[in-house]
């Protein structure tokens, strides 16, 4: 049976978000800064959250299942103290079950001190490393790959003169996607894997340094954006300020996850120099050029389909309309799937505005189709509201391959586009026509060259194929003739 979250979203889900601070953020307490930073990153993970605070070498931590507002209150935050270093985490787990033990930050005490760690991403050699560690006597408390990273760093720390040297050595062993925050008794480190799969940025608030998964979290506490952490970089902050270790920079081809721009990130974030809002509008404009249609109104599926819908409307000249009202007060455990029929569940979260769609030829813009179940229910609600025609346009190419870098798509089995043609998918979800963004246009969602994207979920071309992950045809399968970047479609204004 589908979970309620799948019923409501039917979207790929990303692993988590991280936030850290070092220094004096007066007059604000650093715990308050972390709390509000995590609130700004809540969209990246809603299963659990936590915060660790360094109080003169002693690490206090509080974490639990639930959203930020469920896990923390004034008493809990004040009880963590007000040290000079703190990190926080929001989690949706792709590796490891949704249990309290897997909540982060993860804390470790060893012979050379203590450490707290927060991780966004997914190791591709997690199983191999865990097996080796267990055979050497390591005992694991969680099922998360974050604990593997903590063990590797701790092992290296025993023979290294500093924590940053240990982290650099650990990077020689771990593979895949990882953006990390590591807090020691006197330092805060931000680490990004050499491919740069997951975002991580640096900010400043007074005398304090900030690290966050997205720039919107800096905005949320009034911090100034400084720059992005470079792929492969270890950024270290201590009493002497910020410094950088770039030993691993430039060792791999930059491969930012394209789904950060299409779906995961908030539209007000800027990732590696690219505005998410602008990238989504460009996707919509490309869609209008690649898949034009005669229609009366363009609407978007909230939230990440709205920017692309605006881009489609501007490029096509078809009026933009508000097609749905989204109920923002539904929690993840609002209702059990069996208590109401699934169509009513969709209506409770997304209700169409009949005045916008009744008797109209509607262009419906969404960011992706994964299983197709929720798309079909949304289309049905538009038909019930009186839409004469529904033409669906998707601001991403067909999702046909699993992801090994932190997106919750582990198999092609349930991917509707991997098992059906475009025409068959259109019939399954009940639309008059269906058009996907071309893979070539994906590589041009930024308006200037800033490095490469990982689009393996569309093309099957993995930057770093994990040993034994998936069948060879899953790793090598390409999305057809559009798999290579194409020229910018003529006339695109964005």
- Structurally, the chain folds into a number of domains equal to 2
| Domain identity same for 91 and 232 | yes
| Domain identity same for 279 and 233 | no
Quickly state the pLDDT bin for 469 (edges 50, 70, 90). very low
Preceding peptide of 5 cis, ω within 30°: no
Q: Which two tokens stand for residue 243?
A: 């410094």
In DSSP terms, 224 is beta-bridged to 204
Would the pLDDT of 419 be above 50? yes
Q: Which two tokens stand for residue 12?
A: 């790929």
Higher pLDDT, 204 or 5: 204
Smallest CA-to-CA distance from 456 within 176, 215, 185 is with 176
41 domain-assigned? yes
The pLDDT value recorded for residue 10 is 58
Q: What is the mean pLDDT of residues 113-134?
A: 92
2 domain-assigned? no
Burial code (b: 16+ CB inside 10 Å, e: under 16) for 202-227 equals bbbbeebbbbbbbbbbbbbbebeeee
- Which residues have a catalytic role annotated? 16
Least confident of 44-48, 169-173, 343-347, 358-362: 343-347
User: Distance between CA atoms of 451 and 43, rounded to whole angstroms?
Assistant: 25
Quickly state the pLDDT bin for 350 (edges 50, 70, 90). confident
User: Distance between CA atoms of 148 and 140, rounded to whole angstroms?
Assistant: 8
| Domain identity same for 195 and 139 | yes
* Neighbouring C-alpha atoms within 13 Å toward the C-beta of 149: 32
**What are the distances in angstroms from CA 475 to CA 104, 165, 403?**
31, 34, 10
| Domain identity same for 233 and 314 | no
DSSP category for residue 174: -
DSSP category for residue 260: I
| Domain identity same for 450 and 308 | yes
428 domain-assigned? yes
Higher pLDDT, 101 or 362: 362
The pLDDT value recorded for residue 435 is 98
Whole-model pTM: value is 0.89
Domain end point (choices 206, 222, 252)? 252
Would the pLDDT of 290 be above 90? yes
User: Distance between CA atoms of 403 and 12, rounded to whole angstroms?
Assistant: 10
Q: Which two tokens stand for residue 104?
A: 């982060």
CATH number for the domain that contains residue 209: 3.60.20.10
Q: Give the position of tokens 């805060």.
A: 188
Higher pLDDT, 328 or 276: 276
Q: Which two tokens stand for residue 407?
A: 């997106």
Instruction: Tally Cβ neighbours within 10 Å of residue 293.
Output: 19
Least confident of 16-25, 94-103, 381-390, 431-440: 94-103
Burial code (b: 16+ CB inside 10 Å, e: under 16) for 376-397 equals bbbbbbbbebebebbbbbbbbb
User: Distance between CA atoms of 403 and 270, rounded to whole angstroms?
Assistant: 23
Quickly state the pLDDT bin for 472 (edges 50, 70, 90). very low
| Domain identity same for 360 and 389 | yes
| Domain identity same for 185 and 282 | no
Percent of the chain whose pLDDT exceeds 70: 85
Quickly state the pLDDT bin for 467 (edges 50, 70, 90). low
| Domain identity same for 223 and 279 | no
Would the pLDDT of 359 be above 90? yes
* 262 touches 367 (CB < 8 A): yes
Q: What is the mean pLDDT of residues 343-354?
A: 79
Would the pLDDT of 343 be above 80? no
User: Distance between CA atoms of 270 and 225, rounded to whole angstroms?
Assistant: 10
Q: What is the mean pLDDT of residues 300-315?
A: 96
**What are the distances in angstroms from CA 119 to CA 60, 276, 291, 437, 452?**
18, 22, 39, 31, 23
Q: What is the mean pLDDT of residues 176-193?
A: 97
The pLDDT value recorded for residue 113 is 87
Q: Do the bridges between strand 389-394 and strand 433-436 make them parallel or antiparallel, or are there none, so unpaired?
A: parallel
Domain end point (choices 218, 252, 286)? 252
Quickly state the pLDDT bin for 11 (edges 50, 70, 90). low
488 domain-assigned? no
| Domain identity same for 329 and 424 | yes
Which residues contact residue 240 at a Cβ distance below 8 angstroms, ignoring those fewer than 6 apart? none
Q: What is the mean pLDDT of residues 263-271?
A: 95
User: Distance between CA atoms of 275 and 266, rounded to whole angstroms?
Assistant: 10
| Domain identity same for 223 and 320 | no
Q: Which two tokens stand for residue 69?
A: 């507002």
SS3 483: coil
In DSSP terms, 370 is beta-bridged to none
Quickly state the pLDDT bin for 410 (edges 50, 70, 90). low
User: What tens digit of pLDDT does each residue of 219-238 get?
Assistant: 999 999 999 999 999 999 99
* 173 touches 129 (CB < 8 A): yes
| Domain identity same for 283 and 238 | no
Smallest CA-to-CA distance from 49 within 38, 36, 37 is with 38
Domain end point (choices 205, 223, 252)? 252
CATH number for the domain that contains residue 327: 3.40.50.2020
Average model confidence (pLDDT) across the chain: 87
| Domain identity same for 386 and 321 | yes
User: Distance between CA atoms of 249 and 42, rounded to whole angstroms?
Assistant: 29
What residue numbers bound the domain in which 434 lies?
A: 272-482
Q: Which two tokens stand for residue 360?
A: 């109209």
Q: What is the mean pLDDT of residues 306-316?
A: 98
In DSSP terms, 270 is beta-bridged to 275
260 domain-assigned? no
């Amino acid at each position: 049976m589908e979970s309620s979250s799948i019923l409501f979203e039917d979207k790929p889900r990303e692993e988590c978000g991280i936030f850290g601070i070092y220094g004096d953020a007066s007059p604000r307490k650093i715990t308050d800064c972390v709390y509000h930073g995590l609130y700004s990153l809540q969209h990246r993970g809603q299963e659990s959250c936590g915060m660790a605070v360094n109080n003169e070498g002693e690490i206090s931590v509080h974490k639990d299942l639930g959203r930020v507002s469920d896990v923390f209150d004034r008493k809990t935050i004040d009880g963590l103290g007000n040290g000079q270093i703190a990190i926080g985490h929001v989690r949706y787990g792709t590796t490891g079950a949704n249990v309290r033990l897997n909540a982060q930050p993860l804390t470790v005490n060893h012979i050379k001190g203590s450490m707290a760690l927060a991780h966004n991403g997914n190791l591709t050699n997690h199983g191999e490393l865990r097996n080796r560690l267990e055979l050497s006597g390591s005992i694991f408390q969680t099922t998360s790959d974050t604990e593997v990273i903590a063990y590797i760093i701790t092992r290296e720390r025993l023979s290294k003169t500093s924590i940053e040297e240990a982290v650099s050595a650990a990077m020689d062993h771990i593979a895949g996607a990882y953006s990390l925050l590591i807090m020691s008794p006197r330092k805060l480190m931000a680490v990004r894997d050499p491919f740069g799969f997951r975002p991580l940025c640096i900010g400043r608030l007074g005398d304090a340094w900030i690290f966050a998964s997205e720039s919107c979290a800096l905005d949320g506490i009034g911090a100034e954006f400084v720059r992005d952490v470079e792929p492969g970089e270890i950024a270290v902050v201590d009493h002497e300020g910020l410094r950088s270790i770039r030993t691993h920079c430039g060792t791999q081809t930059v491969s930012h996850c394209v789904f950060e721009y299409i779906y995961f990130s908030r539209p007000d974030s800027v990732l590696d120099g690219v505005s998410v809002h602008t990238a989504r509008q460009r996707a919509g404009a490309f869609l209008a050029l690649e898949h034009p249609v005669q229609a009366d109104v363009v609407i978007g599926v909230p939230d990440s389909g709205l920017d692309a819908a605006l881009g489609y409307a501007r490029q096509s000249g078809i009026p933009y309309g508000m097609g749905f009202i989204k109920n923002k007060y539904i929690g993840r455990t609002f209702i059990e799937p069996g208590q109401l029929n699934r169509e009513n569940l969709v209506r409770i979260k997304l209700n169409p505005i009949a005045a916008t769609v009744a008797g109209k030829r509607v262009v419906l813009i969404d960011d992706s189709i994964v299983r197709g179940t929720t798309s079909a229910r949304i289309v049905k609600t538009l038909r019930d509201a009186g839409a004469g025609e529904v033409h669906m346009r998707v601001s991403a190419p067909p999702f046909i391959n699993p992801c090994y870098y932190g997106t919750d798509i582990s198999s092609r089995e349930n991917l509707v586009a991997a098992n059906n043609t475009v025409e068959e998918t259109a019939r399954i979800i009940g639309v008059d026509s269906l058009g996907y963004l071309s893979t070539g246009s994906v590589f041009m969602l930024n308006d200037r060259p800033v490095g490469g994207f990982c689009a393996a979920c569309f093309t099957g071309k993995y930057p770093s194929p994990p040993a034994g992950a998936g069948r060879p045809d899953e790793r090598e399968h390409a999305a057809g003739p559009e798999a290579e970047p194409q020229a910018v479609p003529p006339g695109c204004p964005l």
